[in-house]
């Protein structure tokens, strides 16, 4: 139940509830503000001694309509009614002959009437003229109110503006509440994303600092953070154990490599001594197998030691700018007798033009020694090896059954692992294509791949 109350859904519902509680306050404030605005001096203060222009127009039209069919008495009666409404106003009516009655007593000509109309429009006092009938002989009613006693009613658009402002204000408050809520969620998710990005780059996730506020301790993101922290701790402990085991393994391999060389040297010495003795043909064959296996184990131990030193970064590395074609030519010359002895047809096509790379000479020789040894081990049945240089690349090809095929001399693959490490360290790239028709090794600069 406690976790449900602390969930993100309940938290957001609390935000909505807080907004709904503040909504009446917002509207009440808006209504009071709008009312005060209407009663301000900008709208004429709206006290009883002031009149709206709309009311004056309506009352004048109503009075003129009621007195239209009556005589002079009816006109005087509506004039008195208007005087009770507008005591500060000048009130009179003009008959068909141009005589004025009421607050004015004079006779107007047609020209004077027109001039009065023109002078009254938009002037001070505010003047309203309403005809008693449709014909000019019926006369007209005149109400003149001082401008400082009138005000114009707020336009209808003011109500729409008020409504728009209120809706905008309410929406802004709700968006503010929502933004505060979701910005906190976003901040926590971004922290989790950053920690995951660090984990992707380094392989070691960093535990997150969880929210200390009580309200946020039980929501879904907090549960995700706790799960992530547990995983981060487990990964760090696992990586520490793995590192310890790796160091132990490397130390063990290094010790075994050194310890095994002594008995191998002794075995090789006894095998050499037996070669000088008179043995049967079968004995000599067995002695040759023993010598071959001793050489194989010796190379395997050497590879294991080299791999261990490479992995630990303890194998000496001194890169120099060298002609890779020239180095490869000398390496092939050293291997030529061995390949001939194993029955290989050798095709070498190395141009005079050099390929200059930043390489370690000993590492470069070790790479090609391992590759050629791999050819002898896996492709002896094909009886063919080709070494060439083309477009800044060094190529080694054979016609064996491929690296995936099972061969009697197939080893643990440590030699190729050493090659891969050395190639990467020197900024080179080795592409291997292997199939039933043979294997093709292409060595080039990593920069040439872009």
Which residues lie across from 92 on neighbouring strands? 102, 142
229-252: average pLDDT: 76
More confident residue, 177 or 357: 357
Helix (H, G, I), strand (E, B) or coil at 392: coil
Q: Evaluate whether 384 touches 357 at the Cβ level (below 8 Å).
A: no
Phi-psi region of 46 (alpha: psi -120 to 50; beta: other; left: phi over 0): left
Parse the chain into domains and list their residue ranges.
2-38+155-202, 51-151, 208-315, 322-449
**What confidence tier does 200 reach under pLDDT thresholds 50, 70, 90?**
low
The strands making up 90-94's β-sheet, listed across from edge to edge, are 100-102, 90-94, 140-145, 126-131
**What confidence tier does 213 reach under pLDDT thresholds 50, 70, 90?**
low
pLDDT reading at 228 higher than 70: yes
Helix (H, G, I), strand (E, B) or coil at 28: helix
**pLDDT per residue as tens digits for the range 278-291:** 778 887 778 777 87
Residue with tokens 């790379």: 357
Record: fold of 51-151: Beta-Lactamase (3.30.450)
pLDDT reading at 375 higher than 60: yes
Q: What whole-number distance in Å separates Cα of residue 253 and Cα of residue 310?
A: 13
More confident residue, 294 or 413: 294
336-340: average pLDDT: 88
Ranges 91-100, 283-292, 302-311, 350-359: which has the least confidence: 302-311
pLDDT reading at 411 higher than 70: no
Class of domain 322-449: alpha beta
Mean pLDDT of the chain: 77
Q: Could you tell me the sign of the dihedral formed by the alpha carbons of 322, 328, 331, 333, in that order?
A: negative
Q: What whole-number distance in Å separates Cα of residue 132 and Cα of residue 155?
A: 29
State the pLDDT at residue 404.
Answer: 76
State the pLDDT at residue 44.
Answer: 43
More confident residue, 57 or 256: 57
**pLDDT per residue as tens digits for the range 140-151:** 888 888 877 776
Q: Say if strands 384-390 and 393-398 run parallel, antiparallel, or are unpaired.
A: antiparallel
CB count in 10 Å sphere of residue 239 = 13
**pLDDT per residue as tens digits for the range 323-333:** 999 999 999 99
Record: fold of 208-315: Helix Hairpins (1.10.287)
State the pLDDT at residue 439.
Answer: 92
More confident residue, 391 or 299: 391
157-181: average pLDDT: 72
Ranges 203-217, 373-387, 412-426: which has the least confidence: 203-217
State the pLDDT at residue 48.
Answer: 45
280-307: average pLDDT: 75
Ranked by mean pLDDT, the top range of 77-86, 182-191, 404-413 is: 77-86
Residue 393 C-alpha from the chain's centroid: 41
Q: What is the DSSP string of 129-140?
A: EEESSSSGGG-E
Q: What is the DSSP string of 406-441?
A: --TT---SHHHHHHHHHHHHTTEEEEEEEETTEEEE
- Rg value, the chain, Cα: 53
More confident residue, 209 or 350: 350
**pLDDT per residue as tens digits for the range 11-62:** 677 777 777 777 777 666 666 665 555 555 444 444 444 677 788 888 888 8
Residues in the chain: 450
Q: What whole-number distance in Å separates Cα of residue 365 and Cα of residue 347?
A: 19
Of 337, 262, 247, the C-alpha closest to 297 is: 262
State the pLDDT at residue 387.
Answer: 94
pLDDT reading at 409 higher than 70: no
Of 86, 66, 84, 62, the C-alpha closest to 75 is: 66
State the pLDDT at residue 163.
Answer: 66
240-258: average pLDDT: 71
**What confidence tier does 383 reach under pLDDT thresholds 50, 70, 90?**
very high
């Amino acid at each position: 139940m406690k976790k449900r109350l602390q969930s993100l859904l309940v938290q957001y519902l609390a935000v909505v509830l807080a907004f709904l509680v503040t909504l009446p306050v917002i509207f009440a404030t808006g209504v009071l503000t709008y009312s005060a605005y209407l009663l301000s001096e900008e709208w004429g203060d709206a006290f009883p001694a002031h009149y709206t222009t709309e009311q004056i127009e309506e009352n004048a039209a109503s009075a003129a309509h009621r007195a239209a069919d009556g005589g002079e008495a009816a006109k005087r009666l509506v004039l008195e009614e208007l005087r009770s409404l507008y005591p500060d106003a000048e009130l009179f009516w003009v008959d068909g002959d141009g005589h004025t009655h009421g607050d004015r007593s004079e006779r107007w000509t047609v020209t004077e009437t027109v001039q009065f109309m023109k002078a009254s429009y938009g002037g001070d006092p505010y003047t309203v003229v309403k005809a008693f009938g449709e014909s000019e002989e019926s006369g007209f009613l005149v109400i003149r109110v001082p401008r400082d006693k009138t005000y114009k009613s707020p336009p209808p658009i003011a109500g729409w503006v008020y409504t728009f402002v209120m809706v905008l204000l309410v929406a802004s408050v709700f968006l503010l509440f929502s933004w505060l809520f979701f910005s906190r969620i976003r901040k926590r998710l971004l922290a989790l994303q950053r920690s995951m990005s660090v984990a992707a780059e380094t392989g070691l996730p960093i535990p997150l600092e969880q929210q200390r506020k009580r309200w946020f301790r039980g929501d879904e993101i907090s549960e995700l953070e706790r799960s992530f922290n547990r995983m981060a701790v487990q990964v760090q402990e696992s990586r520490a154990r793995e590192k310890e085991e790796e160091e132990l393994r490397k130390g063990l391999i290094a010790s075994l490599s050194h310890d095994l060389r002594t008995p191998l040297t002794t075995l090789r010495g006894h095998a050499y001594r037996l070669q000088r003795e008179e043995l049967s043909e079968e004995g000599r064959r067995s002695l040759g197998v023993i010598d071959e296996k001793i050489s194989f184990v010796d190379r395997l131990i050497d590879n294991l030691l080299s791999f261990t030193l490479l992995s630990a970064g303890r194998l000496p590395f001194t890169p120099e700018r060298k002609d890779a074609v020239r180095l490869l030519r000398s390496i092939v010359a050293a291997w030529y007798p061995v390949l001939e002895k194993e029955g290989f047809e050798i095709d070498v096509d190395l141009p005079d033009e050099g390929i200059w790379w930043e390489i370690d000479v000993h590492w470069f020789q070790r790479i090609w020694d391992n590759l050629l040894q791999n050819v002898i081990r896996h492709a002896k049945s094909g009886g063919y090896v080709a070494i060439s240089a083309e477009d800044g690349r060094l190529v080694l090809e054979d016609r064996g059954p491929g690296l995936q095929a099972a061969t009697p001399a197939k080893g643990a693959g440590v030699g190729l692992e050493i090659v891969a490490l050395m190639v990467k360290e020197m900024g080179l790239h080795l592409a291997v294509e292997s199939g039933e028709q043979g294997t093709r090794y292409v060595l080039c600069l990593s920069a040439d791949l872009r």
